Structure 1
Amino acid sequence: MRLSTISYFFLIGVNLLMSQTDYYFPERNSEWQHKQPTDFKIDSEALQAAVDYAEANEYSGSRDLRIAILKGFEREPFHKILGPTKKRGGPAGMILKNGYVIAQWGDTKRVDMTFSVTKSFLSTMAGLAEDRGLIANTHDKVADYVWDGTFDGAHNSKITWEHLLQQNSAWSGELWGGKDWADRPPRVGGIDDWKFEKPKEPGSVMEYNDVRVNVLAYALTHVWRKPMPMVLKENIMDKIGASTTWRWHGYDHAWVEIDGIRMKSVTGGGHSGAGLFINTEDMARFGLLFLNNGKWKKEQLISESWIKKVIEPSKPNINYGYMWWLNKKGDRHWEGLSEDIYYAAGFGGNFIVIDKENDLVVVTRWLEPNKIEEFMTKVNKALK
C-alpha cells in the first residue's frame, strides 16, 4: 500500500521531531541511566580505547593545585594565590549519547577546581541577563550599565558586552589587585615593553586575560544586583537537577556593596585560585543543557538565540565565541572532526565538549591538555 504524499511527509516530520527531542534527562539525586554503546551502533572496543587513552594521559602538573598554579603562571609579575584552591583527584570523565551514559571513568562525584571552564558558566550569566532584558543587547556599551568608573575614559568607554565575552575588550586597569598588563605577558620583550604598551582597539585582538574576565563578572554582578552563584543556582543548576556540592568562589578580598548588601564578585577562572569547583556529573548536566539548545526537558532555560550567539566565531579569532571554543578551521581546529563542535576548556585538562552532530556530550578531567584532539579523534572513531 502506497503512502499518500501528505502521509509520507507527516511521518518524516514526526521522525524528525522525535530525533530532535529524544534525549534522556537525569533526575536529581538519582542514578544516571546507562546504555551500552552498541545500543547506538557505537563500537564498544574503540570507545573503551578512548577511555583508556584518557586515563593513561593524566595532566602532568602537581595534584596539589596550589603548586600547579604557582608553577603554571610563574612568569607573571606579582602573581600569587588570592582565592581558595583544592587538591585534585585523578582522571575522570563521562560520555553521553542522547543524554545516556555510554562511558564513564574515575570518580565522577568528586568536586574539583575547573579553572577556565568557569568562563562558559559566566558567559551563560550574560545570556540569562539578555534573555530577561537586564541587558538589552550584547552590542551595548558596558558603561551604559556600570557607571562607577570601571568603564570610564576614552578607551574603556568603547567596550561592549560582546568585547568582554569574546575576550577582545583590551580593558585597561586594575581589579582586585590584578593589573591587566601583568596577566599572561608575551614571551618576547622586557617588562617595560609591554607594561607601557598602548591598549589595543576593543574588538580587534583576542587576548586571554583573567583580569578582564573578572571585570565581566564584576559588571554582571552589578547588572543582576546579586551574586553570580545565586543567579546560576536559581536559574540553571537547580533546574537541571545538579548536586548541592558545587561552589563558585571569588578572591578572598573581592567584595562589593550593591543596594547596601555586601556580596562577593566571583572569578571567571582559577588563575589565582577561586573559580568554579564542581563534579564531573554536574558538568555533564550543564553540557546536556547546551546540547539540547538551552532546553531541559520541556523548559527553555536559555534562549536558542543566545546559544546561536555563543557559537558565532569572533572576528579576531574564528575559534572563539562567547567564552566557548569553536572547532572551526583555525589555529585550534581538531582535524577530521565536526566544525560544529564547541567546548569549554580549563587549565589542567578540564573539558566539556558539545558535539551536536552526533548528539554527544563529552566531559573529561585532568587530561594532558595537548591530548584532547587525539582523545576526541578516538571517540569519533568509535562512532564510525
Structure 2
Amino acid sequence: MKKNYILINLLFFIAFTLNAQEVYFPPNGEWQEKQASNYHLDFNEAVEFAKKNEYSESRDLRQAILKGFQSEPYHKLLGPTKRRGGPAGVILKNGYIVAKWGDIERVDMTFSVTKSFLSTTALIAKQEDLIDSFDDKVENYLWDGTFDGPHNSKITWEHLLQQNSDWSGELWDSFDWADRPPQDQNIDQWRSRELHEPGTYFKYNDVRVNVLAYSLLNVFREPLPKILKKNIMDPIGASTTWRWYGYENSWTTIDGLKMQSVSGGGHSGGGMFISTKDMARFGLLFMKWKNEQLLSSELIHQAVQSSSANPDYGYMWWLNKDASMKNLGQDVFYAAGFGGNFIVVDQKNNLVIVIRWLEPSKFEEFLNLVYKNT
C-alpha cells in the first residue's frame, strides 16, 4: 500500500512538473499574466534598472540616426523614421507575462532587430523549398547582375545570413564599403580594399543585409512583409499595427508589379516598426509555436548555430557561444538593434525578454539582474 502511495505521488509530481514547463501561447488580443513569484522569480530590480537607464540619445530618432552614423560617407536617410517612446519591456516565463514596464502597445522603430525577422523569411523560403539549400550560390537564383563577377558569384545564402559574404557593390545608391568603414583609412583605401573570401570574414553591414532582402524578394516574387504576415505574424496572433519599410528608392518590378524591397534595419530609416508585445510573440515563435510547425525545429536549430567567421553570430541572431556574458548559458540567443532594442530567447529556461530603449552598454548588466535568481 505504501509503495503504491509513493508511486502515485511520484507520478503526480512528474505530471505537475511537465505541466508547469508547458509553454502558453497567447491567442490574438489576449495575454495572461502571472506573478513572477509563482515561479520563485523576482524581476523588480531588473525592471527598475531598465527604467532608470534609458538610451541617452534623442527621442527624435532622425537626429539620433544622423548623429550615430555621421562618420559614414554619403550616409543619408532614405526611409521613414518615427519619434520613439520611453523605456519599455516585457518578460515572459513559460509564455506568461511575469513582468512589464512602459508602453508595450506603442509601435516604435526596432532597427537591427529587423534582421532576425528578415532571416526568418529566409527560413520560410527554405521550408517551402524555394531555396534548396543555404549552401547554394545565390547567383543560381538571381541572374540580374547582383552576383556577377569572380567574387560575388561565390556567395551563398548562408554567407548572406551570417554576414560573412563580403559582397561588393552598390544597392539603392549605397556602397558596401561606405557602411561602417575603418576610421583609420580614407575613401580611396575604402574603395580599393582587399576582398575577403566569402565565409571567412564577418562584417556587420546593412548594404549586404539589404542584398539578402532583395534576393529573397526575387525568390518569393512577393513583398517580404506579406510573406511574414501570412506565414508568421498572423498565425502567432500579432496585432495589425506592425509595419516593415524599405527606402524611397528601393523599388523594383517583378512580374509586371512594382514592389518595395525592405531594409534589414533602420540605419538609413525604414526597417521594422513594431510594438513590444508583438516582438514578444515573435520571440515565442522560437520556443516552437504550439504544435504547429510554423518553422521546423531543425531550421530554428540551424539558425542559431555559430558561423565559422564569428562564433557569436548565427543567421542574424547574436549568440553567447564564447560565454562573453558569463551569467548566461550558451543556448541563449538574441536580436539586437540600435538604441537599445533587444529580443532575448532562452529555450532552456522558457524565458523571452524584450527590451526597448535601454542604454546599449547596460544590456549585460540588465540581464545579470534578470538572471540573478533564475
Corresponding residue for 2:27? 27
Q: Give the drift of 1:82.
A: 0.3
**Counterpart residue identity of residue 38, structure 1:** S
Query: 2:225: which partner in 1?
Result: 229
Aligned match for 1:54, one of 50, 53, 62: 50
- C-alpha displacement of 1:198: 2.1
- 1:350 paired with 2:341, answer yes
Is the counterpart of residue 372 in structure 1 residue 373 in structure 2? no
How big is each residue's C-alpha offset from its partner over 1:113-161, in whole Å with a ceiling of 9 and x where there is no partner? 0000000000000001001100011011000101111011100000000
Aligned to 1:2: 3
Q: In the alignment, does 2:98 pair up with 1:77?
A: no
Q: Deviations over 1:49-88 (max 9, x none)?
A: 1000001000011100000000000000000000000000
For residue 10 of structure 1, report the CA deviation from its aligned partner: 8.3
**Distance of 1:16 and 1:159 partners within structure 2:** 47
Change beyond 3 A, Cα 1:12–1:48? closer
Cα distance in 2 between the residues matched to 1:12 and 1:163: 47
The equivalent of 1:40 in structure 2 is: 39
- Taking a change above 3 Å as real, the CA distance of residues 81 and 49 of structure 1, as seen in their structure-2 partners, is same
What amino acid is the match of 1:33? Q
* Alignment counterpart, residue 319 of structure 1, candidates 302, 312, 317: 312
Identity of aligned residues (%): 60
The answer as to whether partners of 2:172 and 2:250 remain within 8 angstroms in 1 is: yes
The residue correspondences of 1:179-328 to structure 2 (distance < 5 A) are 179-290=175-286, 292-293=287-288, 295=289, 297-328=290-321
Query: How much is the aligned-residue C-alpha RMSD, in angstroms?
Result: 1.9
Q: After TM superposition, give the deviation of residue 213 of structure 1 in Å.
A: 0.1
- How far 1:187 moved relative to its partner? 2.5
Q: Does structure 1 conserve the Cα–Cα contact (< 8 Å) formed by 2:345 and 2:351?
A: yes
Give the 3-state SS of the residue equivalent to 2:354 in structure 1: strand
* TM-aligned CA distance change 1:146 to 1:97, over 3 Å: same
After superposition, give the CA deviation of every residue in 1:303-353 in whole Å (9 maximum; x if it has no partner).
1111111110001111100000001216xx211211111000000000000
**Residue ranges of structure 2 left out of the alignment (5+ in a row):** none
| Residue ranges of structure 1 left out of the alignment (5+ in a row) | none
Q: Match of 1:285, as an amino acid? A: R
Aligned-partner Cα distance in 2 for 1:170–1:359: 36
Alpha-carbon offset, residue 382 of structure 1: 3.2
User: TM-score of the superposition, structure 1-length normalised?
Assistant: 0.93
User: Deviations 1:149-199 (Å, cap 9, x if unpaired)?
Assistant: 101110000000000000000000000000000000112222222221121
TM-score (norm 2): 0.96
How far, CA to CA, are the matches of 2:133 and 2:14 in structure 1?
34
CA positional deviation for 1:42: 1.0
> What's the CA shift for 1:229?
0.3
Q: Which residue does 2:98 correspond to in 1? A: 102
* CA deviation map 1:232-257 (0-9, x unaligned): 00000000110000000000111111
Q: CA deviation at 1:260?
A: 1.0
User: Paired residues, what number?
Assistant: 372
Matches within 5 A, 1:162-173: 162-173=158-169
Partner secondary structure for residue 250 of structure 1: strand
Counterpart secondary structure, 1:345: strand
Moved more, 224-233 or 188-197: 188-197
User: Whole-Å Cα distance in 1 between the matches of residues 196 and 274 of structure 2?
Assistant: 35
Counterpart of 2:55, as a letter, is Y
